Amino acid sequence: MPSNSDKRNIQDFEALVHYVKKFERLRVDRAHGIAPHKPILLLSVIEQIRREIITENKIYLFRELIQTFLKYWSYLGSFNHNPDISRPFFHMRSGKFWHLWANPGYVKLISSKEKLKTLSEVKEAIKYAHLDEELFEFLQDPILRSSLVTVLVARWFPGKVELVEEISQTDEFRDLPEYLRDGYWELYNER
């Protein structure tokens, strides 16, 4: 008969497999090729957890997250898509592990089928996002976090595991991206 500890390990393993599948099956826009917004957002959040910038299960759409997102985009992003963090921040909720906490007066809007399309709309309506508590706990563990990153990268950026590791260790962009020259600079620098 399995011990309580064995049962807990089995439950943890099953939960980890659940999140592996969620990361592999992210719903992304495919109209002009795969839009990598959600995988890049997850990599950005995971890096911020690893760096202890995100220390509690509250993911705010602040400058640090936007900067990290744009950094990953400069290496992994698509030329066919804009590097807009607001849409994946809002739409990641379709994965059922990413949840939104509304600002006062916006609860009905967040729970409706209405779509928020701009960074200002998202910031106005959403106070923060949070992950399933179990997933957040997994991302605190260096080994489990690394495993989840590997799964995410293997699925969405095949053959780029080493590149993603390098990106996570730097704050440098590949080149000064065109989008920072074309109006996103304010996004990059705002609080």
Report pLDDT for 35: 83
- Cα(55)–Cα(140) distance, integer angstroms: 9
Report pLDDT for 89: 95
Task: Tell me the CA end-to-end span of the chain in Å, nearest whole number.
Answer: 54
Q: pLDDT (tens digit, 9 = 90+) per residue, 108-123?
A: 988 887 888 888 899 9
pLDDT at 190 over 80: no
Give the mean model confidence (pLDDT) for residues 2-20. Answer: 75
Q: pLDDT (tens digit, 9 = 90+) per residue, 33-49?
A: 688 999 999 999 999 99
Give the mean model confidence (pLDDT) for residues 122-129. Answer: 94
Quote the mean pLDDT of the chain. 87
Task: Tell whether the torsion through CA atoms of 157, 36, 44 and 10 is positive or negative.
Answer: negative
Report pLDDT for 168: 93
3-class SS string, 146-172: HHHHHHHHHHHCCCCHHHHHHHHCCCC
Residue 167's Cβ-count burial label (10 Å; 0-12, 13-18, 19+) is buried
Give the mean model confidence (pLDDT) for residues 120-139. Answer: 95
Q: Are 34 and 155 in contact (CB under 8 A)?
A: no
Give the mean model confidence (pLDDT) for residues 178-183. Answer: 55
Q: pLDDT (tens digit, 9 = 90+) per residue, 81-110?
A: 888 899 899 999 988 999 999 999 999 988
Percent of the chain with pLDDT over 90: 62
Query: For the whole model, what pTM was predicted?
Result: 0.87
25-39, 41-55, 137-151, 176-190: range with lowest mean pLDDT: 176-190
Report pLDDT for 180: 55
Q: Are 128 and 163 in contact (CB under 8 A)?
A: no
**Closest Cα to residue 150, out of 54, 53, 43?**
43
pLDDT at 187 over 80: no
Q: Where are the domains of the chain?
A: 4-189
